[in-house]
């Protein structure tokens, strides 16, 4: 049971961004995708979801995604883009309901909001919320789809430290309940602390995959980010990375 991509090639017009990418997100695992700005992380997510054209094979639980109907695909695969600009000031309830409409089974808006600690925002408008509150509400909308796999593009952006930790802890718990989660983030330490698996997308569009302990070493970090970092070991914990 996995979300798989093999031989995935993606470009914008004549410019090739990603070539022959092989990628796998296991059901019940929490993975983070990291890489420098402009490496193509968001493009890879879009290609996996199917909102950006790509060549190659994408499979959901063994079934080619092109053979799944659009509604079925949305019930299996939830996606939260980096930026969302609603055309009109939607209420929180309205935005979460849009996700619930896609779900195969009935789901209440309140429980979806509760899962991201945002039930008190129910009757507010999206445009009144802070950046962090907005991200949590939008995530609740994607969770209301009740997908088996979640692709999140920087869900922790604009969240304070406490809510970042809460969100990643929540994502880890969701993965323990069987969800396969792939999350783009720039915070290496946050990702290493909570994720089962890290993927580094290098500037040469190569993917390095491994556990946090395997990847938080000098060579992969330097190949991906082009800098040397200090790797501070911790007993029984993943190391902490600080810039030199």
Of 129, 125, 116, nearest to 156 by C-alpha is 116
Residue 110 CB, shortest distance to other proteins, in Å, is 6
Choose, by CB under 8 A, the member of 14, 88, 234, 235 that binds other proteins.
88
Judged by CB under 8 A, which stretch of 2-10, 31-39, 49-57, 197-205 contacts other proteins?
49-57
Q: Which two tokens stand for residue 113?
A: 């909001």
Report if residue 86 touches other proteins, rule: CB under 8 A: yes
Question: How far is it, in rounded angstroms, from Cα 239 to Cα 17?
Answer: 31
| Span from 5-13, 101-109, 203-211, 225-233 in contact with other proteins (CB under 8 A) | 101-109
Residue 122 sits in the site that holds other proteins (CB under 8 A): yes
If one asks whether residue 33 binds other proteins (CB under 8 A), the answer comes out as: no
80 binds other proteins (CB under 8 A): yes
Q: Considering the rule CB under 8 A, would residue 232 count as an interface residue with other proteins?
A: no
The phi and psi torsions of 201 (rounded to 5 degrees) equal: -100, 110
* Residue 107 sits in the site that holds other proteins (CB under 8 A): yes
Q: How far is the CB of 25 from other proteins (least distance, A)?
A: 16
Contact 181, 174 (CB under 8 A): yes
Largest CA distance in the chain: 51
Select from 61, 97, 166, 187 the one that contacts other proteins (CB under 8 A).
97
Using CA atoms, how far apart are residues 182 and 207, in angstroms rounded to an integer? 14
Contact assessment for residue 192 and residue 237, using Cβ atoms and an 8 Å cutoff? no
Which residue's entry shows tokens 């990291």? 34
Could you tell me if 43 and 52 are in contact, meaning their C-beta atoms sit under 8 angstroms apart? Answer: yes
- In the complex, which residues of this chain contact other proteins (CB under 8 A)? 46, 49-51, 69-71, 73-74, 77-81, 84-88, 90-91, 93-95, 97-102, 106-110, 122-123, 145
């Amino acid at each position: 049971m996995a979300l798989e991509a093999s031989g995935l090639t993606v470009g914008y017009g004549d410019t090739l961004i990603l070539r022959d990418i092989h990628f796998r997100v296991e059901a019940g695992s929490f993975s983070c995708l990291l890489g420098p700005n402009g490496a193509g992380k968001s493009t890879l997510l879009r290609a996996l979801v199917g909102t950006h054209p790509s060549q190659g094979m994408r499979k959901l639980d063994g079934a080619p995604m092109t053979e799944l109907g659009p509604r079925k695909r949305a019930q299996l695969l939830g996606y939260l883009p980096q930026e969302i600009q609603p055309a009109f000031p939607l209420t929180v309830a309205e935005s979460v309901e849009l996700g619930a409409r896609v779900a195969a089974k009935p789901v209440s808006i309140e429980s979806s909001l509760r899962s991201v600690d945002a039930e008190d925002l129910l009757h507010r408008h999206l445009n009144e919320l802070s950046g962090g509150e907005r991200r949590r509400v939008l995530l609740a909308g994607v969770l209301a789809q009740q997908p088996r796999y979640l692709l999140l593009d920087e869900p922790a952006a604009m969240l304070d430290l406490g809510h970042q930790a809460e969100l990643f802890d929540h994502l880890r718990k969701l993965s323990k309940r069987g969800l396969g989660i792939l999350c783009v983030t720039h915070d290496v330490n946050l990702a290493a602390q909570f994720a089962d698996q890290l993927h580094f997308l290098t500037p040469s569009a190569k993917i390095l995959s491994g556990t946090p302990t395997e990847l938080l070493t000098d060579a992969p970090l330097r190949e991906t980010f082009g800098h040397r970092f200090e790797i501070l070991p911790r007993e029984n914990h993943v190391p902490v990375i600080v810039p030199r």
